[in-house]
Amino acid sequence: MRDEELKTMRKSFQTLFNRRKQLLNDPEIKNLQEKVIEIRKNSINNNEELIQIACQNLKNNDIECYFAKDGNEANDIILKIIKEENNKIKTHSNTKIAKSKSNTLGKISKSKSNTLIRIAKSKSNTLGEIAISKFLASQNIEIIETDLGDRILQLKKTDNKPTHPTGPASHLDVHQIAKIINNALKTKIEANPKAIMKAVKGDVLKKLANCEIGITGANAITCKEGSILLIHNEGNISLLSLMKTHIIVAGIDKFIPSLEDAMSLAKLESVYATGKLTTSYMNIISGPSKTADIEKKLLKNMYGASKIVLIILDNGRSIANSECLICIGCGSCILTCPVYDAVGNEFGFNSYLGGRGIAMASFIEDDELSFKSGLFYCTLCGLCTINCPVSMPTRELIEKIRANSQKQGFYPRSHESIRENIQKKGSPYE
Ligand code: SF4
- State pLDDT tens for residues 5-20: 999 999 999 999 999 9
pLDDT (tens digit per residue) in 81-98:
999 988 877 676 666 555
Distance 331 CA to ligand 1 centre (A): 5
Ligand 1: does its nearest atom lie under 6 Å from the Cβ of 273? no
Q: Pick from 208, 214, 70, 212: which is nearest to 131 by CA?
A: 70
> Residue of the nearest CA to atom 8 in ligand 1?
330
Q: How many CB atoms lie within 10 A of CB 108?
A: 15
Q: Do residues 274 and 374 both lie within one domain?
A: no
In-domain check, residue 33? yes
Ligand 1: does its nearest atom lie under 6 Å from the Cβ of 329? yes
Q: Which of 260, 286, 317 is the last residue before a domain boundary?
A: 317
112-121, 197-206, 282-291, 310-319: least confidently modelled range: 112-121
Distance 253 CA to ligand 1 centre (A): 14
Across 295-415, the runs of DSSP E, i.e. the strands, are: 297-300, 307-313, 348-349, 352-353
Q: Pick from 298, 273, 285, 240: which is nearest to 387 by CA?
A: 273
Backbone angles phi, psi at 320, to 5 degrees: -75, 160
Ligand 1: does its nearest atom lie under 6 Å from the Cβ of 389? yes
Structure-model confidence comparison of residues 321 and 40, the more confident one: 40
What secondary structure does DSSP assign to 15-53, as a single string? HHHHHHHHHHT-HHHHHHHHHHHHHHHHHHHTHHHHHHH
Q: Is 274's pLDDT higher than 90?
A: yes
Residue 138 has a pLDDT of 94
Q: Do residues 38 and 103 both lie within one domain?
A: yes
The Cα–Cα gap between 403 and 104 comes to: 69
Domain count, the chain: 2
105-119, 130-144, 290-304, 340-354: least confidently modelled range: 105-119
Ligand 1: does its nearest atom lie under 6 Å from the Cβ of 332? yes
Residue 99 has a pLDDT of 56
Longest distance between any two alpha carbons in the chain, whole Å: 93
Q: Do residues 18 and 61 both lie within one domain?
A: yes
Distance 274 CA to ligand 1 centre (A): 13
Residue 126 has a pLDDT of 95
Give the number of the atom of ligand 1 that is nearest the alpha carbon of residue 331. Answer: 5
Residue 103 has a pLDDT of 47
Q: Is 105's pLDDT higher than 50?
A: no
In-domain check, residue 395? yes
Cα distances (Å, whole numbers) of residue 129 to 58, 110, 220:
24, 36, 17
Residue 76 has a pLDDT of 98
The Cα–Cα gap between 312 and 77 comes to: 11
Q: Per-residue pLDDT averaged across 158-176, rounded?
A: 93
Q: Which of 317, 340, 360 is the last residue before a domain boundary?
A: 317
For residue 218, what is the DSSP state? Answer: -
Q: For a substitution probing ligand 1, which of 326, 388, 394 has the most ligand atoms within 8 Å of its CB?
A: 388
Residue 166 has a pLDDT of 87
Residue 110 has a pLDDT of 41
At 13 the three-state DSSP class reads: helix
Burial 391-417 (b: 16+ CB within 10 A, else e): ebbbbebbeebbeebbeeebeeeeeee
pLDDT (tens digit per residue) in 393-406:
999 999 999 999 99
* CATH number of the CATH domain containing 67: 3.40.50.10420
Give the number of the atom of ligand 1 that is nearest the alpha carbon of residue 334. Answer: 4
Residue 426 has a pLDDT of 87
Say which residues have a Cβ less than 8 Å from residue 353's Cβ, sequence separation at least 6.
162, 163, 164, 165, 331, 334, 340, 345, 347
Please report which confidence band the pLDDT of residue 420 belongs to, taking 50, 70 and 90 as the band edges. confident
Distance 349 CA to ligand 1 centre (A): 14
Range of the domain at 352: 331-421
Residue 93 has a pLDDT of 64
The Cα–Cα gap between 119 and 128 comes to: 15
Say which residues have a Cβ less than 8 Å from residue 415's Cβ, sequence separation at least 6.
406
Taking phi over 0 as left and psi of -120 to 50 as alpha, with beta for the rest, 243 belongs to beta
Q: Per-residue pLDDT averaged across 180-208, rounded?
A: 96
Q: Do residues 248 and 287 both lie within one domain?
A: yes
Residue 187 has a pLDDT of 95
> Residue of the nearest CA to atom 2 in ligand 1?
388
Ligand 1: does its nearest atom lie under 6 Å from the Cβ of 327? yes
At 342 the three-state DSSP class reads: helix
Q: Do residues 18 and 89 both lie within one domain?
A: yes
Residue 109 has a pLDDT of 38
Give the number of the atom of ligand 1 that is nearest the alpha carbon of residue 272. Answer: 8
pLDDT (tens digit per residue) in 211-238:
999 999 999 999 999 999 999 999 999 9
Sign of CA dihedral 171, 122, 37, 281: positive
Q: Do residues 313 and 349 both lie within one domain?
A: no
Taking phi over 0 as left and psi of -120 to 50 as alpha, with beta for the rest, 226 belongs to left
Mean pLDDT of all residues in the chain?
92
The Cα–Cα gap between 147 and 36 comes to: 27
In-domain check, residue 194? no
- Which strands, in side-by-side order, build the sheet including 63-68? 63-68, 307-313, 245-251, 213-216, 118-121, 142-145
Q: Do residues 416 and 268 both lie within one domain?
A: no
Q: Is 357's pLDDT higher than 60?
A: yes
Q: Which of 317, 346, 381 is the last residue before a domain boundary?
A: 317
Residue 92 has a pLDDT of 66
Q: Tell me the percentage of the chain whose pLDDT exceeds 90.
A: 82
In-domain check, residue 203? no
Ligand 1: does its nearest atom lie under 6 Å from the Cβ of 40? no
Please report which confidence band the pLDDT of residue 425 belongs to, taking 50, 70 and 90 as the band edges. confident
In-domain check, residue 300? yes
The Cα–Cα gap between 124 and 351 comes to: 9
Evaluate whether 238 touches 144 at the Cβ level (below 8 Å).
Answer: no
Distance 392 CA to ligand 1 centre (A): 7
Ligand 1: does its nearest atom lie under 6 Å from the Cβ of 405? no
Q: Do residues 111 and 24 both lie within one domain?
A: yes
SS (H, E, C) 400-424: HHHHHHHHCCCCCCHHHHHHHHHHH
Evaluate whether 146 touches 234 at the Cβ level (below 8 Å).
Answer: yes
Q: Do residues 231 and 293 both lie within one domain?
A: yes
Ligand 1: does its nearest atom lie under 6 Å from the Cβ of 355? no
